[in-house]
Chains A and B, each alone.
Chain A
Amino acid sequence: MSVLLIAEHNNKEFKPFTLNAISAASQINEDVHVLVLGSNSDSVAKSISEVPNVKKVIHINNPLYENYLAENYTSAIIKLANGYSHIICSANTFGKNLMPRIAALLDVSQISDITKVVSNDTYVRPIYAGNAFATVKSADKIKCITIRPTSFDPAPTSGGSAEIQNGNPGDTFDLSKFIKKEEIKSDRPELGTARVVISGGRGMQSGENFKLITAVADKLNAAIGASRAAVDAGYITNDHQVGQTGKVVVPDLYIAVGISGAIQHLAGMKESKVIVAINKDGEAPIFSIADYGLEADLFDALPKFLEELNKLNTIQK
């Protein structure tokens, strides 16, 4: 049987993590069908049909799905579910909100946030904020799975030409209503997918001081992250938070500035390829996982760091 993947999109284009979910899905079974639930969302269905790993796109185009509400999405998905062996989406706030509602109605024990596909019923997933990894096997007939996007490479975006089939909307219950979305716009790379991330912690001492981070981020074309402590102190908005309760990032280079390294922060960044820590407390736990540690006052080190970067002839973007 085939795998049904639920696409995340904004009715114009699909969200990048949909591609990571498609690759995870094709590791389970090559017959990947993608469901696009949206309103005026033809361009989304079309661009997904061009992903070579996708064998079929089911497009349900209805004003009901203009905004993403789990209640409405679920009733449409349930109608399709019995034709599939697996239902999959990303373990970001989209999929975390949606999948358990589907799983419960199918009487399925969901497997959340998998980082590895062992076989078509066995997976690896982090528990205790990534302090342990569990290998688990599902006995349910349909498997409901969310995948950790940063653990799977994105699928290629062109070369495919899957069939687009129109589907029927589900029942409506009128239980909830979308009011507004306050998206934080930025010209920088997205935190979840950036090649370089530079994050500030409580050591930054104020929101104003984040300009030191911003200057380095501009130079390195980096996304800006933060620890929970910095977010809670109001230095920066919560969409920048890296950690167990924020975003999980796996950049090539992660620079932690004035971050002590609480377990909850490490859970969000310790898989980064190269980790740099700048902290004046030489005993800070962040140094135990840093590839390069610099014990220094960040207020001296950051301007100097920028100065040294400016001396380089070339910088990777």
Chain B
Amino acid sequence: MKILVAVKRVIDYNVQIRVKEDGSGVVTDNVKMSTNPPDDNAIEEAVKIKESGKASEVVAVSVGEEKAQETVRKALAVGADRGILVKADGIIEPLAVSKILQKVVEKEKPDLVFMGKQAIDDDCNQTGQMLAALLNWPQATFASKIEVKDKSLEVTREIDEGLETIEVNVPAIVTCDLRLNEPRYASLPNIMKAKKKPIEQITASDLGVDTKPRIEQIKVEEPPKRKAGIKVASVEELVQKLKNEAKVI
């Protein structure tokens, strides 16, 4: 079995986001970038399945600018066998990413495609489901447990009401929740080894995919600031304020 894992380079989750003064977006220059957190869970799960002997190869793919190569390299350092970088500049909407991944899937013929359930930059939560639609494959989104069976997967999904378990035929798309596993850190020898692993570079236009955005971003603004509150000295004061000032209890 072969597993393709899609990874995205995003602003590190610990960075405090700053909106550009001209409202054209958020500041990304000189800002620490990392792998989108649930994509780390996706790689981890693929590598674990390979280690259990149920998969033969794990291929990491990223769509983005040249520097997204670092994100692919990180996936190689935690156990992916080889990488693919599809170069595309500017905002690439999930629909375009899923069309690119569709082409990669047609070429690589994986049995499973894993990725994070959502990217923490645009918070779209679309790419996996879109790719599943384009391929007419089943989708198991927000996965917190994956059991590999003969020709199917049994997946436990995190839903609003609790947990749901579904079975999907292979080939399938799985989008991963942060609860799926605990991603490992890359060891120094593995980081060195990853430098020798191959990364194939292609462009979105090589694949014949138009990445022009369909959605016009008119402006990006900071959220309205909450006015500073007060510190109360005691529980008695807190209850009194909630009752008589805020009138919420």
Query: Do residues A109 and B220 form an inter-chain contact, with CB atoms below 8 A?
Result: no
Stretch touching chain A among B59-67, B82-90, B184-192, B223-231: B223-231
Assuming the A-B contacts A104-B134, A238-B179, are A132 and B222 also in contact, with contact meaning beta carbons closer than 8 angstroms in the complex? yes
Select B223's contact among A131, A192, A287, beta carbons within 8 Å: A131
Indicate whether B242 reaches chain A with its CB closer than 8 angstroms.
yes
A247 and B160 in contact (CB under 8 A), knowing A100-B129, A133-B221? yes
Pick the residue among A183, A232, A289 that contacts B161 (CB under 8 A).
Answer: A183
A184 to B160, CA, bound (A): 10
Residues of A within 8 A of B216 (CB): 136-139
Cα-based distance from A107 to B219 in the complex (angstroms): 24
Which stretch (B48-56, B73-81, B137-145) binds chain A?
Answer: B137-145
The minimal Cβ–Cβ distance linking A31 to chain B, given in whole angstroms, is: 24
Contact with B along A271-283 (1 / 0, CB 8 A): 0011110000010
> Does A93 lie within 8 Å of B160, measured CB to CB?
yes
Chain B residue with minimal CB distance to A133? B221
Tell whether, in the assembled complex, residue A292 and residue B249 are in contact, meaning their CB atoms are under 8 Å apart: no
Chain B's interface size range is: 35 or more
A214 to B50 CA separation, bound complex (whole angstroms): 44
Name the residue of chain B whose CB is nearest to the CB of A291. Answer: B229
Chain B, 105-135, contact with A by CB distance < 8 Å: what is the 0/1 string?
0000000000000101111111111111110
Proximity string of chain B (157-174) to chain A, C-beta cutoff 8 Å, 1 when within and 0 when not: 111111111111100100
Type the 1/0 row for B200-217, where 1 means its CB is closer than 8 Å to any CB of A. 000000000000011111
Instruction: List 17 additional contacts besides A288-B228, A305-B239; criterion CB under 8 Å.
Output: A71-B138, A100-B129, A102-B133, A108-B214, A109-B94, A129-B120, A131-B223, A135-B217, A175-B168, A238-B179, A253-B249, A263-B13, A273-B248, A275-B229, A305-B235, A305-B238, A312-B243
Q: Jot down 30 A-B pairs with beta carbons below 8 A, ordered by A.
A: A93-B142, A93-B158, A96-B125, A103-B95, A103-B126, A104-B95, A104-B98, A109-B93, A109-B94, A113-B123, A113-B125, A127-B121, A128-B26, A132-B222, A136-B216, A176-B166, A176-B168, A180-B164, A182-B163, A184-B161, A228-B178, A239-B162, A244-B120, A245-B118, A270-B223, A274-B248, A275-B229, A292-B230, A296-B235, A316-B248
- Residues in chain B within 8 A of chain A (CB atoms): 11, 13, 16-17, 19, 26, 93-95, 98, 118, 120-134, 136-142, 144, 154, 157-169, 172, 177-179, 213-223, 226, 228-232, 234-236, 238-239, 241-243, 246, 248-249
